[in-house]
Copies of this chain bind each other. A is one copy, B any other.
Amino acid sequence: MNFSKTQAQTLNDILRWRRDVRHFRADPVPQPVLDRLRAAMDLAPSVGNSRPWRVLQIKDKSLRGRVQDTFETCNREAAAGYDEPARAEYVRLKLAGLREAPVHLAVFTETAPIEGRGLGRQTMPETLQFSTAMAIHTLWLVARAENIGLGWVSILDPQSILTLFDVPESWVFTGYLCLGYAESPEERPLLHRNGWQHDTSTEWLER
């Protein structure tokens, strides 16, 4: 398979227009779209082909409410860690779309998968969680190409999430994802619009 310049440009456009979406419309995402998003995660790389990501789709309202509670507690604590004026700036940011997003996914990593037979992770077991991060990134890009927004919520206490969902002991929490149609086109990322953090460039330093 040889890709053309046009195809490479399409990938670049999708990467460039990916956003961490925190403002969602309440419209549901059609099931065939969700099925494609789920299937796309199978295309992510994983150490030893172990595919250690474990995904719960959270539909229960009371569970969603408890995730929101955990987020609010953690977010208040994070805000308290800043001095003014950063604290006021922080508080103004909307950092999660948990209330509005129609689709919620809690993503975990199996730390002792049979799959892969240990290959590639003896010296770096953290490659299992890296695999899950890349599966989330795969989902993120495929969602964007389907014109669906995704927001990654990391302002959560991992232990609370593990307890809340009563997952197997060998699972660790990797991230909580909100999906749905974005409320607005979001031309500039939120953290730029608000002046929280401008872009830096990747360098490759020679050795």
A: residues with CB less than 8 A from B are 1-3, 7-8, 10-18, 20, 34, 38-45, 47-51, 53-60, 63, 74, 77-78, 81-82, 86, 90, 93, 95, 105-106, 115-124, 126-127, 129-131, 133-138, 140-142, 144-147, 152, 154-158, 165, 173-175, 185, 189, 191-192, 196-207
> Given A3-B147, A8-B145, A158-B123: A45 and B152 within 8 A (CB)?
yes
- Contact: A42 with B11, CB < 8 Å? no
Cross-chain contact A202 with B10 (CB below 8 angstroms): no
Secondary structure at chain A's binding surface: helix, strand, loop or mixed?
Answer: mixed
Q: Contact check, A11 vs B145: say whether CB atoms are below 8 A apart.
A: yes
Given A16-B43, A38-B203, A39-B202, 18 additional A-B pairs, CB 8 A:
A7-B145, A10-B10, A42-B201, A48-B197, A55-B204, A56-B206, A57-B206, A74-B123, A115-B197, A116-B197, A119-B196, A122-B155, A124-B158, A129-B133, A130-B175, A133-B134, A133-B137, A134-B136
Known: A45-B20, A156-B124. A207 touches B74 (CB 8 A): no
Cα-based distance from A105 to B115 in the complex (angstroms): 28
B77, B130, B158, B202: the one contacting A133 at CB < 8 Å is: B130
